[in-house]
Amino acid sequence: MKKILAFTLVFSLVIGLTGIAFAETKITFWHSMHREHKEALEDITAAFEEANPEVDVELVDQGGYGELSQKLTTSAAAGKLPTASQQYEDWTIQYVNADLMQPLDEVVSQELIDDLPEALVNSGTFHDKLYALPFNKSAMVLFYNTDLIDEPPATWGELLEISAELTKDTNNDGEIDQYGFGLRPTPELFSLFFHQAGGKFLNEDKTELLIDSEEGIEALTYMKDLREYSLYQTGYLSGPFGSGKVAMYIGSSAGAPYVDSACEGNHGWDTAPLPDGPANGDSMIQGTNVGVFTVGNTQAQVNAGVDFIQFMIKDKWTIDWAKRTGYIPVRKSALDSEEWQKYLDENPRYRAMTQMMREGFVYPHHPDWYSVRNIFGNILEKTMLGKGEPKELLEEGAKTFAEKYG
């Protein structure tokens, strides 16, 4: 009888312990990735699950970024957040302010943080703490038509010159058929030129918008000059670039697959680092980060979530991701790696993008930045349509900011 009892005890203990060892932690990851991007993400996830058999990751496709943001807002209100998700900086700062997120400084190795390009650390840092790791990141580059341009412009001056040369009325009907540059009045384009002119967006306590500065006027005046030789349109420029209507434009490297399909059968294309401005030739880094939510999750889930977002950007996976999607690896060690360098030799178009990733900057973090940036869009549009002078429009913009967000 005793034997049986002892056996039962040991047996149940063993079963119990195995149970604990294999207790599955289920985490959810919300994303907006589709097609090739989604497949690449699924492969990363499968590899993570294989390496961590105790964790089960459920990927949830929430449609586009707008929809993802809506879902996160609703779920945050109901306290039903996923374990981790993709997020833009101006979403993250709201979650951080509402105390919904896991700070990463203490749980992620310093080695990893040191391995991220500076702009990407800035992108994930809020109130001096790291809350998000970079994931799908792209940089602005210059796209140019290789049938028309041998040597891409290296400075603002050259960009203007080449644009002027290539703006032509080829069939003499009085209408311009080919433009040197394509200009889409996005807040990001203004911000890029503003930064390259040496401008600083906000004061220390983020109560003043500093665009009504010499740098602001210089950037906007330059863009106004460039407008003379530009196709001005609000839609994506990959179309007119592909059809040959536009010889150059500045856009996100993530647009490369669209450019490629638009140019197919029409003309050759390549990318170049951005022309240098008066202060620098930095590129704007775009794309989302990934962060972990504490609300609605157990400690085990939070831990697994942190492991997962670190796994996603291991050298092997950030390179695999970049190769399959057109984004750029997010770690210095990955950018330097033999594998990526070899890929660049085979795909020289990615060279400029890789360089730009190291020389990048991101927007300052402000909870209302999504609406603040519309001020830039308005200023740019008004300037381009001749509805005001740069100086007065910039002053007006700074005033609007002071009234609404100051």
Partner 1 sequence: MSMRKVFFKVFTYLLLLLLVSAVLLPFYWMVVTSLKPPGEVNVIPPKWIPSKPFWQNYVRAWHAAPFGRYFINSFFISVMTTIGEVVTTILAAYAFAKMDFFGKKVLFLSLLGLMMFPGQLRLIPNFMLASNLGWTDTYQILIIPWIASIFGIFLLRQYFKTIPDELWDAAQLDGCNRFRYLWTVVVPLSKPGIITVALFKFVGSWNAFLWVLIMTNKTSMRTIPVGLAVFRSEAGTHFGELMAASTMAVLPILIIFFLAQKQFIQGVARSGIK
Interacting residue with partner 1 among 24, 56, 67, 336 (CB under 8 A)? 67
Interacting residue with partner 1 among 2, 21, 78, 110 (CB under 8 A)? 78
Least CB distance to partner 1 at residue 221 (A): 28
Under rule CB under 8 A, how many of the chain's residues touch partner 1? 43
Interacting residue with partner 1 among 255, 291, 390, 397 (CB under 8 A)? 255
Q: Would you say 27 and 83 are in contact if contact means Cβ atoms under 8 Å apart?
A: yes
For 35, the token pair is 């097609």
Interacting residue with partner 1 among 43, 52, 65, 213 (CB under 8 A)? 65
Say how far apart CA 272 and CA 184 lie, in whole Å.
19
Site string for partner 1, 330-369 (x = CB under 8 A): ----------------------------------------
DSSP string, 44-106: HHHHHHHH-TTEEEEEEE--SHHHHHHHHHHHHHHT---SEEEE-HHHHHHHHHTT-B---TT
Interacting residue with partner 1 among 242, 273, 291, 360 (CB under 8 A)? 242
Say how far apart CA 311 and CA 55 lie, in whole Å.
13
Interacting residue with partner 1 among 168, 245, 316, 332 (CB under 8 A)? 245
| 288 φ, ψ (degrees, to nearest 5) | -105, 165
| Residue 26 in the binding site for partner 1 (CB under 8 A) | no
Tokens 């985490």 map to which residue?
27
- Helices 349-358, 338-346: axis angle to 10 degrees equals 140
Q: Which amino acid is at 300?
A: A
Site string for partner 1, 116-155 (x = CB under 8 A): ----------------------x-----------------
How far is the first Cα of the chain from the last one, in angstroms, to the nearest whole number?
Answer: 80
- The residues in 200-239 that bind partner 1, with binding defined as CB under 8 A, are 235-236, 238-239
| Residue 254 in the binding site for partner 1 (CB under 8 A) | yes
Least CB distance to partner 1 at residue 35 (A): 6
Site string for partner 1, 277-316 (x = CB under 8 A): ---------xx-----------------------------
Q: Would you say 318 and 334 are in contact if contact means Cβ atoms under 8 Å apart?
A: yes
Within 8 A by CB and 6+ apart from 88, the residues are 65, 69, 288, 289
Percent composition of the chain: helix, strand, coil (DSSP 3-state, to 5) = 50, 20, 30
| Residue 377 in the binding site for partner 1 (CB under 8 A) | no
Task: Let me know the angle formed at the C-alpha of 335 by 331 and 340, rounded to the nearest 5 degrees.
Answer: 130
Interacting residue with partner 1 among 26, 80, 342, 404 (CB under 8 A)? 80
- The residues in 100-119 that bind partner 1, with binding defined as CB under 8 A, are none
Least CB distance to partner 1 at residue 96 (A): 20
User: Is residue 128 packed enough to be buried (19+ CB in 10 Å), middle (13-18) or exposed (0-12)?
Assistant: exposed
- The residues in 256-275 that bind partner 1, with binding defined as CB under 8 A, are 256-258, 261-266
Binding residues (CB under 8 A) for partner 1: these are 28, 32, 34-35, 37, 60-65, 67, 70-71, 74-75, 77-78, 80, 138, 235-236, 238-240, 242-243, 245, 251-252, 254-258, 261-266, 286-287
